[in-house]
């Protein structure tokens, strides 16, 4: 009897062991977040948990099963699927069962988990990848799809990631707008059904909407409290985020390439790798989420992310297309006097048959215009070197004006409809980067310039047109690959450039912030958030982009937009990002000159704090007459606090601004800097010493009732 009982016990326990082995639990963890999956009895993978890190493994058994991780089309779920495939027999159902998973430490606190799923009827494999950056609290996810059917299968939908959340309410913040009006912050509550954020613009893909979002749980998002998931897709083309609240008030977030007009035919044994989706989960509001992204971007993603950045003088707004060699050399002298690191030559230096005297012609013909630059770019590089500054140059290599030699020679390289009139955006068209010959041409634009003039120290890579007239001569019967293959072609070119010129800094521009994603930033050191440099508008635009991108990636130039603001106000705004000037310096009076010279010096001193430090957004410009943000050095010894009075009301009561991120027990000296020469500081407590505790709990009277006043305060540990 005893033996029987023992045998029964043995059988039962080995059965449950077998069960456990068959139903693996997969934990993806950073220092502060857990994402937990488990295989259920039916062999399918379920997301059990996403949120603040769970430290007690014994609790995990109590978690509910959750929702299937990567939902497929054609089975029993009635909402938007992550994947939709058409098999060779025209059946488009997919049922994914767990096969195995692996987890590998990549080093530096980074861990990659790969979960392999397979259909049990069709030879289709889906691998879900999760790369967890422990310290920075970021998870990067992507998906690989492959198959062994006889003929290609058709991928109709192919998400990078699907995440599930279960809360009482969901508040979505999106960042949309237009040219010169980028990244406006709008928050709304989600109700049953779908909210889609997407773009179909192809090349200048983010002109209307940025590829990132914030999703606050239970309550509207806050800067320093509350749970918020912040996500972004690394794809320099059409993307789509779908937020769907289902019948149980659960939220599904699907992120990936926009499947719009992009059915992809995948041959057997080839792997379709989706772009990366990156997210962070913060329990301390949007501020912490931003700092997570900023740290991660600098440490792991952005080209030369931990290097400093160059200040510059750009000639675009002071000359537009109207310049010659002498004028440019004169501007270089001004750059030297100003003390910036580099002179950046913008659009208008190239083409001879149709000289680039306006945006109507010449794009595509990348030789110097002889009557503007008789001694070529080489002379400019030499002059810059003599003056002790660097030389940078503008290109827009993916594009062509119909009035150009390139268009005349290689019409087949241009994305255009063979049987229709051409439609132009900014008088230009997009080259077909799905074609390897075009990739060679685009690579050649950079490579030829660098080979001829190795002294070129910087490129501004522009992209002013969305893809219009969508048709590729090269792709023939695979037209629905164009949006995807365009971006892949672009990456092939950028890979070659990065491999050959690994330390060449490059600015990404797309008529402003028309391209602003983290995959592009693997190849670019920075980007141009907007052509709108009115400092008031910039306060809003920079506020929007700062949610996800670190200051060193955001170029901000002092220009003549909004002359109603002082040069000090404009410079203080630009100093919150990567500082540059694009202004006729000769129009400034002596005081303004002196101010700018001093500001550049202050900026150089504060670069480690502004570019590498932690950002704390203190007062939002949205719904306020003022705004303030501060950067704190990683060692907490120095901080730079920016404060702006935009449109204060008459006799308005202003409250002190409480600082953040300092060491409560340390003593700090507070000093207003960047003042116009001859004007003293009216800041209460200027040049006094306070504890971090005081500064963070009582604060400083940074705001005034003066219209368009600005302040920069340097805080230094005593």
Count CA atoms closer than 13 A to 226's CA, side-chain side: 21
- Secondary structure (3-state) at 88: coil
> What order do you get walking across the sheet with 342-345 strand by strand?
526-527, 506-508, 456-461, 390-395, 342-345, 312-314, 578-581, 555-558
Q: Which is nearer to ligand DGJ, 398 or 531 (CB)?
A: 531
The residue within the footprint of ligand DGJ, chosen from 355, 511, 513, 544 (CB under 6 A), is 511
Q: Which stretch binds ligand DGJ (CB under 6 A): 17-25, 63-71, 360-368, 506-514?
A: 506-514
Q: What backbone torsions phi and psi does residue 603 show, to the nearest 5 degrees?
A: -60, -45
Q: What three-state secondary structure class fits 61? A: helix
- The distance of closest approach from Cβ of residue 346 to ligand DGJ in the complex, given in angstroms and rounded to an integer, is 5
- 704 Cβ neighbours under 8 A, 6+ residues apart: 645, 648, 654, 682
577 is in an annotated binding site: no
Least distance CB 232 / ligand DGJ (angstroms):
22
Element (H, E) at 130: strand 124-133
Catalytic entry in 295, 365, 517, 531: 531
Q: Is 463 annotated as a binding residue?
A: yes
Q: Is 397 in the site for ligand DGJ (CB under 6 A)?
A: no
* Least distance in angstroms from the C-beta of 547 to ligand DGJ: 21
Q: Select from 80, 182, 365, 531 the one that contacts ligand DGJ (CB under 6 A).
A: 531
Q: Which of 136, 462, 485, 592 is the binder for ligand DGJ (CB under 6 A)?
A: 462
The CB-of-545 to ligand DGJ minimum distance in angstroms stands at 15
Between CA 172 and CA 648 the distance in angstroms is: 30
692 binding ligand DGJ? (CB under 6 A): no
**Ranges assigned E (strand) in 533-625:** 555-558, 578-581, 614-619
Nearer to ligand DGJ, 509 or 548 (CB): 509
Q: How far is the CB of 611 from ligand DGJ (least distance, A)?
A: 21
| Alpha carbons 476 and 23: distance in angstroms, whole number | 46
CA 96 to chain centre: 32
531 in active site = yes
Among the listed residues 523, 525, 550, the one whose alpha carbon sits nearest the alpha carbon of residue 629: 550
Q: How far is the CB of 352 from ligand DGJ (least distance, A)?
A: 18
For 50, 155, 324, 487, 593, the CA distances from 152, given in Å and listed in that order, are: 35, 9, 55, 21, 65
Q: Return d(Cα 184, Cα 543) in angstroms, integer.
A: 9
Q: Is 359 a catalytic residue?
A: no
Residue of the chain from 394, 474, 486, 523 that contacts ligand DGJ (CB under 6 A): 394
Q: Which stretch binds ligand DGJ (CB under 6 A): 140-148, 199-207, 254-262, 509-517?
A: 509-517
Reading phi first (left if > 0) and then psi (alpha if -120 to 50, else beta), residue 613 is in beta
Q: Where are the alpha helices (DSSP H) in 130-232?
A: none
Angstrom distance (rounded) from CA 596 to CA 338: 7
Among residues 320 and 622, whose Cβ is nearest to ligand DGJ?
320
Point out which span in 77-85, 484-492, 504-512, 686-694 binds ligand DGJ (CB under 6 A): 504-512
Q: Taking the complex as a whole, how short is the minimal distance between the CB of residue 514 and ligand DGJ, in angstroms? A: 8
Choose, by CB under 6 A, the member of 66, 355, 402, 512 that binds ligand DGJ: 512
Q: Which stretch binds ligand DGJ (CB under 6 A): 498-506, 507-515, 596-604, 666-674?
A: 507-515
Residue 404 or 472 having the CB closest to ligand DGJ: 404
Q: How far is CA 472 from CA 203, 348, 429, 444, in A?
A: 14, 28, 12, 21
Q: Does 505 bind ligand DGJ (CB under 6 A)?
A: no
Stretch that binds ligand DGJ, among 12-20, 106-114, 492-500, 508-516 (CB under 6 A): 508-516
Quick note: the x/- pattern for ligand DGJ over 343-372, rule CB under 6 A, is: ---xx-----------x-------------
Beta strands across the sheet bearing 614-619:
614-619, 626-632, 638-645, 709-717, 667-673, 689-691
**Residue 426 is assigned to a ligand binding site:** yes
Residue 318 touches ligand DGJ, criterion: CB under 6 A? no
* CA distances from residue 436 to 261, 406, 439, 474 in whole angstroms, order as listed: 22, 16, 5, 9
Smallest gap from Cβ 313 to ligand DGJ, in A, equals: 14
Tell me if 526 contacts ligand DGJ by CB under 6 A. Answer: no
Q: Is the distance from CB of 414 to CB of 364 less than 8 angstroms?
A: no
Exactly one of 464, 465, 533, 710 binds ligand DGJ (CB under 6 A); which one? Answer: 464
Using the structure block, give the residue that is written with the tokens 């509550």. Answer: 189
Residue 555 interacts with ligand DGJ (CB under 6 A)?
Answer: no
Catalytic residue among 295, 462, 534, 572: 462
Instruction: Report whether 462 belongs to an annotated binding site.
Output: yes
d(CA 650, CA 644) in angstroms, rounded, equals 16
Q: How far is the CB of 480 from ligand DGJ (least distance, A)?
A: 30
Active site residues: 462, 531
Contact residues for ligand DGJ, defined by CB under 6 A: 316, 346-347, 359, 394, 462, 464, 509, 511-512, 528, 531
- Please report, in range form, the residues annotated as the binding site: 179, 346-347, 426, 460-464, 509, 531
Please give the annotated binding residues for substrate, written as ranges.
Answer: 179, 346-347, 426, 460-464, 509, 531
């Amino acid at each position: 009897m005893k033996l029987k009982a023992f045998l029964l016990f043995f059988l039962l326990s080995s059965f449950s062991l077998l069960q456990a082995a068959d139903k693996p639990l997969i934990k993806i963890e950073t220092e502060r977040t857990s994402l937990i999956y488990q295989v259920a009895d039916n062999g399918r993978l379920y997301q059990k948990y996403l949120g603040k890190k769970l430290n007690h493994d014994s609790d995990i058994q109590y978690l509910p099963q959750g929702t299937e991780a990567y939902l497929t089309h054609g089975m029993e779920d009635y909402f938007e699927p992550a994947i939709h495939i058409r098999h060779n027999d025209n059946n488009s159902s997919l049922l994914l069962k767990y096969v195995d998973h692996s987890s590998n430490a990549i080093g530096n606190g980074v861990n990659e988990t790969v979960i392999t799923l397979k259909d049990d009827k069709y030879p289709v494999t889906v691998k879900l990848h999760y790369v967890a950056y422990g310290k920075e609290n970021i998870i990067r996810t992507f998906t690989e799809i492959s198959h062994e059917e006889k003929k290609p299968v058709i991928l109709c939908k192919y998400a990078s990631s699907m995440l599930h959340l279960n809360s009482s309410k969901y508040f979505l913040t999106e960042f949309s707008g237009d040219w010169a009006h980028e990244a406006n912050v709008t928050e709304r509550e989600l109700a049953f059904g779908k909210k889609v954020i997407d773009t179909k613009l192809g090349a200048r893909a983010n002109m209307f909407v940025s590829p990132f979002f914030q999703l606050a749980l239970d309550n509207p998002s806050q800067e320093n409290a509350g749970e918020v998931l912040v996500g972004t897709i690394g794809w320099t083309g059409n993307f789509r985020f779908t937020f769907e609240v289902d019948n149980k008030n659960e939220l599904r977030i699907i992120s990936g390439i926009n499947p719009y007009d992009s059915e992809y035919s995948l041959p057997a044994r080839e792997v379709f790798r989706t772009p990366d989706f990156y997210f962070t989960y913060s329990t301390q509001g949007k501020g912490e989420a931003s700092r997570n992204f900023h740290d991660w971007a600098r440490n792991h993603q952005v080209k030369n992310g931990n290097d400093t950045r160059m200040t510059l003088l750009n000639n675009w707004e002071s000359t537009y297309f109207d310049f010659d060699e002498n004028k440019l050399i004169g501007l270089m002298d001004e750059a030297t006097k100003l003390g910036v690191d580099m002179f950046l030559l913008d659009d208008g230096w190239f083409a001879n048959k149709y000289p680039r005297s306006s945006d109507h012609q010449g794009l595509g013909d990348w030789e110097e215009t002889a009557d503007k630059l008789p001694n070529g770019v080489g002379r400019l590089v030499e002059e810059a070197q003599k003056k002790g500054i660097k030389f940078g140059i503008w290109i827009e290599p993916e594009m062509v004006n119909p009035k150009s030699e390139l268009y005349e020679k290689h019409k087949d390289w241009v994305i255009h409809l063979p049987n229709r009139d051409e439609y132009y955006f900014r008088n230009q068209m997009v080259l077909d980067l799905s074609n390897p010959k075009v990739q060679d041409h685009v690579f050649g634009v950079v490579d030829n310039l660098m080979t001829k003039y190795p002294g070129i120290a910087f490129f501004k890579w522009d992209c002013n047109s969305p893809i219009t007239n969508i048709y590729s001569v090269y792709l023939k019967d695979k037209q629905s690959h164009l949006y995807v293959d365009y971006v892949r072609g672009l990456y092939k070119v950028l890979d070659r450039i990065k491999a050959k010129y690994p330390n060449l800094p490059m600015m990404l521009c797309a008529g402003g912030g028309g391209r602003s994603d983290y995959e592009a930033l693997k190849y670019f050191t920075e980007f141009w958030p907007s052509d709108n440099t009115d400092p008031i508008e910039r306060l809003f635009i920079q506020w929007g982009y700062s949610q996800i991108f670190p200051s060193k990636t955001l170029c901000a130039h002092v220009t003549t937009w909004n002359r109603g603001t002082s040069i000090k106000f404009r410079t203080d705004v630009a100093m919150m990002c990567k500082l540059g000037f694009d202004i006729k310096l000769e129009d400034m009076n002596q005081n303004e000159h002196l101010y700018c010279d001093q500001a550049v010096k202050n900026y150089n001193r504060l670069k480690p704090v502004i570019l590498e430090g932690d950002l704390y957004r203190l007062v939002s410009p949205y719904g306020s007459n003022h705004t303030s943000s501060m950067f704190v050095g990683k060692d907490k010894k120095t901080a730079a606090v920016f404060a702006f009075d935009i449109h204060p009301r008459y006799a308005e009561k202003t409250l002190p601004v409480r600082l953040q991120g300092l060491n409560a027990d340390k003593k700090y000296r507070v000093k207003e800097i960047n003042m116009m020469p001859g004007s003293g500081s009216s800041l209460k407590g200027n040049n006094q010493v306070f504890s971090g505790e005081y500064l963070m709990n009582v604060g400083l009277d940074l705001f005034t009732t003066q219209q368009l006043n600005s302040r920069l305060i340097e805080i230094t540990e005593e």
